[in-house]
Structure 1
Amino acid sequence: MNWLLILLQTGLSEAALRFGCATVSSQRLDPLVEPGKIPSSHVHQIVGGNAFNATMTGDIGEQATCTTCVYTEDFSNYWTAVLYFRHENGSYKRVPQYPNAQLGYEGRDDPTIKGGMTIYYTEKDFQSDGDDYITAFKPGFRMTVGSPTVTNLSEAQRYPGLRYTCLQDILTRGHETYALPSQPCPAGIMAIHHFMSCWDGVNLDSPDHQAHMHNVKAPGEGGFTNAAACPASHPVKVPQLAYETMWNTSAFADMWPADGSQPFVWSFMDDKGYGTHADYVFGWKGDSLQRALNSSCMFHGCGSPGMPGVLKTQPVADMNRCAVENTVTEDTEGWLSELPGQQMK
């Protein structure tokens, strides 16, 4: 389906958020899976509020003072691993990111969004907001999706919302794969992370950061489609949260291995792509997310720079200005002889 065409249609009145967030930090910290460990096992790219640190607790929305997201009331943190290119000589180079062209306000601002991701909160799909009441996440809520320990397709299919798109151009949408694309992609690779949308209504977290959530989508089912009814064990329907990251692999087109092997690898040393995963810590200020979900706004109609809406926005320059000082000081950007944290593996 052509999502850009949907965005351009008139008369839509569904409550759905779609917005960009610049990078707030990129370092080896993981306050969910490895809280307090400095450094954590592998490099992450993080967007959102500047309260991000190695031991995040409490209401993040009350702790942060700025955010890299376009919505000024969203101090949540969203993060994934980092993608690297592995050269034939054994060295590694971080793959650069570029903004999602479909956001509309990107590419027309000076400067453009610095790295980062596109974030979605949808209620049903892109056609209707459905009949279910959607409950916003609560202060202290957190979750993950996927696992770096997943190494094969059958295991990966337990997480149907984790996919890749080989971008033919910057507007490509459609065909998705569980594994990293095996051929060069003209406009790069889009990594997609959809979270589970049914909550037990009690626990803000769980030991594995996933048991308090439930997946109601089957393998092969599209992420931006209506989720089935929530089960009695996890009866509360929450927004369908998703991330999109645009990795500019085209920068390495002239370095593709002579034997044709796939040269990209996640920062935790996964060259298949099955172990892709993502983390989320809720940090919206007050009732701002619930207020947006209760409205009939759709994407830019919820608010974007130069277009007032139910949510407050900020210029791209202010998004880029917000940052977290690195706790872990090491080179994660240049040509590296080994991936940070992977020396003993």
Structure 2
Amino acid sequence: MYFSSAVALGLLTTAIEGTAVLRFGCSQITVERLDPLVNPGVTPSPHIHQVVGGNAFAASIASTDVSQIANCTTCSFSEDKSNYWTANMYFKARNGTYKRVPQIPNRYLDGEVGGMTVYYTSAYDNSKVTAFKPGFRMLAGYADRRTDGGVTKWNAICFRCYNAKNFGGDNAAPCSDTTVDSVELPTKACPGGMRTTVRFPTCWDGVNLDSPDHMTHVSYPESGTFETSGKCPSTHPVKLPQLMFEVIWDTSAFNDKAEWPADGSQPFVFSQGDNTGFGQHGDYVFGWEGDVLQKAMDANCFGATCSALKSQSFTDANNCAIRKTVNEDVDGWLTDIPGSMPMKEKRFAA
């Protein structure tokens, strides 16, 4: 199933029949080297992340009901105290220095400061999805991957170049339009910025809220994709909402080819030392209050408004803050990416 631009942007007043599509913005709550999922308690963690959501975010987050720990959120649904985070993107200039690429709001989400757009989508075949439970957390993507394969099989990551600014949110469908989407970083300048997406597994084993690798308790469909109503494997029979991150990177300040590498290669690199894009990944710690996410899915809520949920203005959302733990420059012209992450060539089987 393909969503038109109008549907993805929330210009329609009703959702596709039988399908919930929550689409809402979350401002940044911090940009620093912390990773309570992969590197709990490590300060600083190996590479830098941009983080949105509730103010329970810290070097470690207890495996409990996060909504009872946080008391505010940078997301436009005030009952969503979850945390969502991704690696940062940097521009590497010809002289070898680095500059963090800022995130900008999606269309019609004015007021968001940096951050990302979050989607929760119910089943396309109208079958029931089971909302995540308190204590649930997961990871999508492989930070060390530098070749095709893995989550790219499920259209889980992709990139899109924009020719005009403020053109995000135009496609909530799979990353399958090869004329505009790619699973590796674009090699051309993007005048209006670059969109990246991360889609999370949609099948759960029904028992474990986490696993040692933060992946094996969940699964992508055994065949097809979530969008094609692919069947969940018998080992992971519970169908979850599809969680998706959409980040719009404002690369427009870095389009001067005279500043690009002398060999003409693309100049962008993710903060874990990935200049391919195959290592794009996302982290998630569930923190919705009570059963409100289940109610929103069952009510087929759509866009950034939902009668089953409480909304807040970005003015209020942007007042949510945490004290920074790691003190280092992340925004100036830097001689290295924070953490001095090397360009890794580690390879995985497809």
The verdict on a shared fold, with TM-score over 0.5 as the criterion, is yes
For residues 76-225 of structure 1, what are the structure 2 equivalents within 5 Å?
76-101=82-107, 104=108, 106-107=109-110, 112-125=111-124, 130-155=125-150, 157-158=152-153, 160-169=155-164, 170-171=167-168, 173=171, 174=177, 175-216=180-221, 225=227
Aligned counterpart in structure 2 of residue 262 of structure 1, from 255, 260, 266: 266
For residues 45-60 of structure 1, what are the structure 2 equivalents within 5 Å?
45-57=50-62, 58-60=64-66
* 1:146 and 1:159 in contact (8 A); partners too: no
**Structure 1 residues not aligned, in runs of 5+:** 303-308
Measured in 2, the distance between the counterparts of 1:154 and 1:209 equals 19
Amino acid at match of 2:193: G
* 2:20 and 2:298 in contact (8 A); partners too: yes
The alpha carbon displacement at 1:217 in A equals 6.9
Q: Deviations over 1:97-146 (max 9, x none)?
A: 11000xx3x23xxxx21000000000124xxxx33211110000000011
Aligned counterpart in structure 2 of residue 72 of structure 1, from 72, 78, 81: 78
* 1:199 and 1:238 in contact (8 A); partners too: yes
The alpha carbon displacement at 1:342 in A equals 1.6
Aligned counterpart in structure 1 of residue 43 of structure 2, from 29, 38, 49: 38
Query: Could you say what secondary structure the match of 1:138 adopts?
Result: coil
Query: Could you say what secondary structure the match of 2:255 adopts?
Result: helix
1:292 aligns with 2:296: yes
* 1:37 and 1:54 in contact (8 A); partners too: yes
**Structure 2 residues not aligned, in runs of 5+:** 172-176, 344-350
Amino acid at match of 1:115: G
Amino acid at match of 1:117: M
Q: Deviations over 1:5-48 (max 9, x none)?
A: 22334553432211000001110000111111100000000000
Measured in 1, the distance between the counterparts of 2:13 and 2:288 equals 29
Query: Could you say what secondary structure the match of 1:8 adopts?
Result: coil
Query: Structure 1 residues 63, 321: closer, same or farther in 2, change over 3 A?
Result: same
Query: Could you say what secondary structure the match of 1:17 adopts?
Result: strand
Query: Structure 1 residues 48, 300: closer, same or farther in 2, change over 3 A?
Result: closer
Measured in 1, the distance between the counterparts of 2:98 and 2:292 equals 41
Measured in 2, the distance between the counterparts of 1:79 and 1:159 equals 20
* 1:49 and 1:76 in contact (8 A); partners too: yes
Between 1:239-248 and 1:171-180, the stretch displaced more is 171-180
The alpha carbon displacement at 1:325 in A equals 1.1
Identity of aligned residues (%): 46
* 1:198 and 1:237 in contact (8 A); partners too: yes
Measured in 1, the distance between the counterparts of 2:223 and 2:231 equals 13
Amino acid at match of 2:67: G
1:332 is matched with 330
Query: Structure 1 residues 39, 300: closer, same or farther in 2, change over 3 A?
Result: closer
TM-score normalized by the length of structure 2: 0.88
TM-score normalized by the length of structure 1: 0.89
For residues 7-46 of structure 1, what are the structure 2 equivalents within 5 Å?
7-12=10-15, 13=17, 14-46=19-51
Aligned-pair Cα RMSD in Å: 1.9
